[in-house]
Chain A
């Protein structure tokens, strides 16, 4: 079983704070990792992907990957109420393109 685990939350942060979302995965063959955002009643949309150890920044979002610890995280700086959504972590091997999704973390940003 190739599991991806996330804390389901809910996670609440005040507007302007840093939100930290975490994900662990069981399959050491996983090579690429993705963070999707899903608003209620909508489909998932990609925020970031990462496949090298370390940090990757894109605007207010930073993805962090530690393959030795099998750990992926997403930091959202200067959180906004519009960031309130469920965040899905996904892992994929380098071939085959099958994604394994976590159950998602619900984030609420309080104005």
Chain B
């Protein structure tokens, strides 16, 4: 798992509340990603980072923001959670940008928005 941890692992929250998910890696990988996984949709990229303070949007970025102040930490924030954001969230890391390089996944966070 390339030394990737996610916290919390499970969270239940109410609509309209802010939520922050944390991804922490010990591999010194430059690239970090946040995905959500939903039945019938597979893994969809939310945001990614290609270095400290360097981030970009993915395919489903609306309603999410990210920050990366240190190489090892990548935070995903739902400013005002909605029920449509109920999902399993995976963080992934990769050492380089070359296409044949694999992504390593964290254990996931199951988020339920009531």
Contacts and interface: CB of A to CB of B under 8 A. Distances in A.
Interface of A: 31-32, 34, 42-46, 49, 51, 88, 90, 92-99, 101-104
A67 to B, nearest CB: 13
27 contacts: A32-B100, A34-B103, A42-B107, A43-B1, A43-B107, A44-B43, A46-B103, A49-B102, A51-B100, A94-B98, A96-B97, A97-B31, A97-B48, A97-B50, A97-B94, A97-B97, A97-B98, A97-B99, A97-B101, A99-B33, A101-B35, A101-B42, A101-B43, A102-B42, A103-B40, A103-B42, A104-B42
B102 A44 contact: no
B102 A31 contact: no
Contact of A103 (B41, B90, B100, B108): B41
Nearest to A89: B42
B42 A44 contact: no
Interface residues of B, number: 28
B45 interface: yes
A43 B101 contact: no
A44 B100 CA distance: 17
B34 interface: no
Contacts of B100: 31-32, 49, 51
A10 B58 CA distance: 29
A43 B43 contact: no
A97 to B, nearest CB: 4
Contact of A44 (B58, B90, B98, B99): B90
Contacts of A96: 97
A98 B58 contact: yes
A99 B1 contact: no
Which 5 residue pairs are nearest across A and B when measured between Cβ atoms?
A103-B42, A32-B99, A94-B99, A43-B105, A101-B43
Given A88-B42, A101-B43, A43 B90 contact: yes
